[in-house]
Structure 1
Amino acid sequence: MKKPLVGALLSLLLLGAAATPAVAAPTAPSAPTATAPGATAVAVTYAGTVALSNCSGSVVRAPASQPGDLALVLSNGHCLESGFPAAGEVIADRPSTRSFSLLNAAGSKVGTLRASRIAYATMTDTDISIYRLTRTYAQIQSQYGITALTLGDVRPAQGSAIKVVSGYWKRTYSCSVDGFAYRLKEGDWTWKDSVRYTSACNTIGGTSGSPVIDTTTGKVVAVNNTGNEDGGRCTVNNPCEVDQNGNVTVRQGINYAQQTYIVVPCIAPGNTIDLNRPGCTLPKP
């Protein structure tokens, strides 16, 4: 995992570099991805991103969210203030008073937002946390001039140009979707249909929870969460890809994200998370 920054160094000291007998060569650097014919690339800035105490995140809205809805913040499940959820654990509608530093387009802090609930969080099948804030989208827009990022409602395409925008580091990584991992296994956790970046997105600790933004639509298509640091095989900080036949591939230096279009069907009117809505496939408690 692109671990919370405080834990990253400790983890490296404790785990060391794991060895594996068969390591795939890192994906070769690719040329910048061209925008599709007729499409215009949108300007991707830090506006709407947030810095957590240990990770990155973003203020997000579903396509049907309303200005008067209490806003949501998206990050990783492994960025929770309570620590990593266990494999199989799902957290829903739990009180939280966590604070977030809201950034403007230039990456400067313009205010502090506060959560009222952890609306949803898990590290099972995906690695996400969704916080419900105490302020509405309209209030945030009025006070800070910041508009929430919109969650895309379709699966990203291979080859799509993307940017990973870290509010923690105020750093942006540009690359493209190299492909998808049928299963991505890291330690006790397994994630489904993960986005694999081309090598230019060499994300680091503290970038966990960063929104992955499609540069053609400007929408959030994934949330950054992990990468294989040392070439280890399926260990913490060294995820491996597992295909439909159980074959394992290790790609040292390559990083990954979890798709977010699956979140959209679970967001009900009023911006509440309803795991029983039609089309919602997020794991249930």
Structure 2
Amino acid sequence: MTAGEALRDAEARLGQAGVDSPQADAEWLMADLLSCSRSELPLFTDTALSVDQQTRLATRVERRFRREPLHHILGTAHFFGYEFQVTGDVLIPRPETERLVELAVAFLESLPHPSVHDLGTGSGCIAVALAKRCPKANVIASDLSEAALRLAKRNAESLEALGQVAFRHADGLDALAKGEQVDLILSNPPYIPSGEIDALQPEVRDHDPCLALDGGPDGLRFYRMLAAEGRSRLNRGGRLMAEFGDGQEQSVAKLFREANWLDVEIADDLSGRPRIVIASAGQ
């Protein structure tokens, strides 16, 4: 069997499963098998696959057919120009979240020695990407999941950011010691309402950690905590930036305004959708 024939079979198989992008996913799996880029695949159309290669591809296609996320199968995901290891212990980094890092970098650039708390770090993608782009920053990355922290540390080590990021096993803002303050709190917290989790796509519902999805009955549990407690954890002039779900912008902004934050803004993600709340602590 040639690579071209196997690619067509894989695309058809994934289409039968209802995968959103069967052609792209089949190409990613084939490119990984052949150790090439997707754009180079046409060069291998007539290349004969070995029996071992056919078996490996078939196994991976079946995993994707059962709706295991593509990035879990590949074992990596790209975020902000860096490659991160991913497993079922963490959410897969999303392009939409890159805007959160962009906004953070823009805010921190003017500070001489900025300090940051990445709350709920997961794979460490936000903390590590920020550390790479802001060499002056000291970053605290916390998570309630010990498995997530282990993975985040591996990512920091592989991307040579381990000396710049301190990892702490803690729940929410408890990662900061009594009286400890930072210039910026960043978070992509759980924001799916509990009752909606069963209706999510199988890739999310069956493979993402529930701890990273469940935002309580209305999806706003963590924003209430951040609005009520976050300001006391910030230095003068500090900011809090947090991602939220589709349609939550008004509810999230209201929580911060009612908690008397000095200034509350909503920023769009890279696709133009309201995605990030920016709250200022004041001078």
| TM-score normalized with structure 1 length | 0.22
Name whichever structure is richer in strand by fraction.
1
| TM-score normalized with structure 2 length | 0.22
Larger radius of gyration: 2
Q: Which has the higher contact order (CA 8 A, sep 6+)?
A: 1
